[in-house]
Amino acid sequence: MSFLSGKRILITGIANKLSIAYGIAQAMHKQKAELAFTYQNNKLKNRVENLAKHFNSDIVLPCDVSHNNNIQLLFVTLSKIWNKFDGLVHSIGFAPKNELNGDYVDTVTYKGFKITHKISSYSFVSMVKECKTMLNPNSALLTLSYLGSERAIPNYNVMGLAKASLEANVRYIANSIGHKGIRVNAISAGPVRTLAASGIKNFRKMLECYKRITPLRRTVTIEEIGNSAAFLCSDLASGITGQTIYVDGGFNIATINELL
């Protein structure tokens, strides 16, 4: 049985085939969801249109969440194609590059703080504001977080604060729209080598360290994150809302297993 058949789900945050959002689209397509996509800018338009074809979708719309009117326009346009829909995947995060390298107190700036929180946390509730009247009962919303929201992880810096805000956002949105039968959750994913992770100092070394601590002794794949996302957006998860679910091989519960 396909557990997303009859569900229409909008997916944001695909940049390429390595994107977590791509793994989510793959898993949701496998479960027979009907998909629509957004792309951040014209540089990505063609690529996302081609990737959408892998999932039999020709609904590909622009949305740069740094401009509030882009979000409004997105849902005005989408409403002409999908009058109602059943799910939203928010897979967007951004901090200015200089905020992600160095000592937190020394590198954080007010400007960087504002941009990071706007793109990585506010954009989620901003999208919900604009689309909540279009969501069917039993809809589900999902965003992507990281353990840096609750642990001080070197170099993750202001992004960690924004993820803490995003997870609180999940709880407040869940409580706000739960009465409509709409659920809201986050997946806290383990580190994955995506575009957003490339260029992060010492990322390779971090992954090696990670594998030694993680109960499963390996990193997670975008397919695994995708399958959990598909479950959370399906009626199989009908009792789950306001949660941050770890898809990290168990890293968050473990400590070092062997020295060297």
- 194 assigned to a ligand binding site: yes
Is 146 one of the binding residues for ligand NAD (CB under 6 A)?
yes
- What mask of x and - would describe binding to ligand 0WE in positions 111 to 150, judged by CB under 6 A? -----------------------------------x----
No. of helices (H) and no. of strands (E), the chain: 9, 7
Task: Give the end-to-end CA distance of the chain in Å, rounded to a whole number.
Answer: 46
Instruction: Select the residue interacting with ligand 0WE from 24, 159, 232, 245 (CB under 6 A).
Output: 159
Each residue 178-207 as x (binds ligand 0WE by CB under 6 A) or -, in order, gives -------------x----xx-xx-------
Q: Which of 78-86, 105-113, 135-143, 155-163 is the region at the interface with ligand 0WE (rule: CB under 6 A)? A: 155-163
Is residue 36 part of the contact set for ligand NAD (CB under 6 A)?
no
Distance CA 235, CA 49 (A): 29
Q: Is 97 in the site for ligand 0WE (CB under 6 A)?
A: yes
Residue ranges in the chain assigned as alpha helix (H): 20-30, 42-54, 68-81, 104-107, 110-117, 123-131, 158-177, 203-213, 222-232
Instruction: Return the number of the residue (177 or 247) whose C-beta is nearest ligand NAD.
Output: 247
Listed in sequence order, the DSSP H helices in 184-241 are 203-213, 222-232
Rounded Cα gap, residues 108 and 151, in angstroms = 17
C-alpha–C-alpha distance, residues 140 and 237, integer Å: 9
* Buried-state track 197-215, b at ≥16 Cβ within 10 A, e below 16: eeebeeeeebbeebeebbe
Query: Binder to ligand NAD among 31, 40, 157, 214 (CB under 6 A)?
Result: 40
Question: Using CB under 6 A, which residues numbered 101 to 130 contact ligand NAD?
Answer: 119
Which CB sits closer to ligand 0WE, 204 or 217? Answer: 204
- Residues 199, 202, 205, 210: is their CA dihedral positive or negative? negative
Cβ atoms within 10 Å, residue 239: 6
Binding site for ligand NAD (CB under 6 A): 13-15, 19-21, 40, 63-66, 91-94, 119, 144-146, 189, 191-192, 194-197
Binding site for ligand 0WE (CB under 6 A): 93-95, 97, 100, 146, 153, 155-156, 159, 191, 196-197, 199-200
Binding-site members for NAD(+) are 13, 19-20, 40, 64-65, 92, 163, 192-196
Binding-site members for substrate are 95
Which residues are catalytically annotated?
Answer: 146, 156
